[in-house]
């Protein structure tokens, strides 16, 4: 059974750093070494790993995604959130991170970002931990 992180988003499009919550899930488990998979079970939200030191990186990513896939571009989907579905397909819905000595193995500047494309909403991220 996966662990679940609850996420509350506050705008239509956003990137939220969930690294501390993922690390907390690992710290509260018995996993010392293995892998951590974080899966987003939503069709209008995704997940990515990128630089977390400079917030301008997230702003640049969202700006470019909005340029590539604008909100209102004459899509056929009737719910009015086709851009969100497309952005989710581009970004993806899961990441896999190594765990060593009970800690995420990530680069100096790397963070795990939940990507909201159709908020604000209450969302979740599922975490599966597997030992080696």
In whole angstroms, what is the distance from residue 28 CA to residue 105 CA? 17
Element (H, E) at 124: strand 122-131
Left if phi > 0, otherwise alpha if psi is -120 to 50, otherwise beta: which for 92?
A: left
If one compares 76 and 21, the residue with the highest pLDDT of the two is 21
* pLDDT at position 18 over 90: yes
Query: What are the two backbone dihedrals, phi and then psi, of residue 119, each rounded to the nearest 5 degrees?
Result: -100, -170
- Give pLDDT tens digits for 26-76: 999 999 999 999 999 999 999 999 999 999 999 999 999 999 999 998 999
Residue 8: which pLDDT band, with cuts at 50, 70 and 90? very high
Question: Which pTM was predicted?
Answer: 0.96
Please give the domain boundaries of the chain with CATH numbers for all domains: 3-131 (2.60.120.460)
Residues 125, 7: contact at Cβ < 8 Å?
yes
């Amino acid at each position: 059974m996966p662990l679940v992180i609850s996420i509350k988003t506050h705008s239509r499009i956003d990137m939220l750093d969930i690294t501390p919550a993922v690390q907390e899930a690992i710290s509260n488990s018995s996993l010392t070494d293995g892998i951590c998979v974080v899966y987003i079970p939503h069709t209008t939200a995704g997940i990515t790993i990128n630089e977390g030191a400079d917030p301008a990186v997230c702003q640049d990513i969202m700006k470019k995604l909005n340029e590539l896939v604008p909100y209102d571009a004459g899509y056929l989907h009737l719910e009015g959130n086709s851009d969100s579905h497309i952005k989710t397909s581009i970004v993806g819905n899961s990441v896999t991170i190594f765990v060593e000595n009970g800690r995420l193995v990530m680069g100096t500047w790397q963070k795990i970002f939940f990507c909201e494309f159709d908020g604000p909403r209450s969302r979740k991220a599922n975490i599966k931990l597997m030992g080696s």
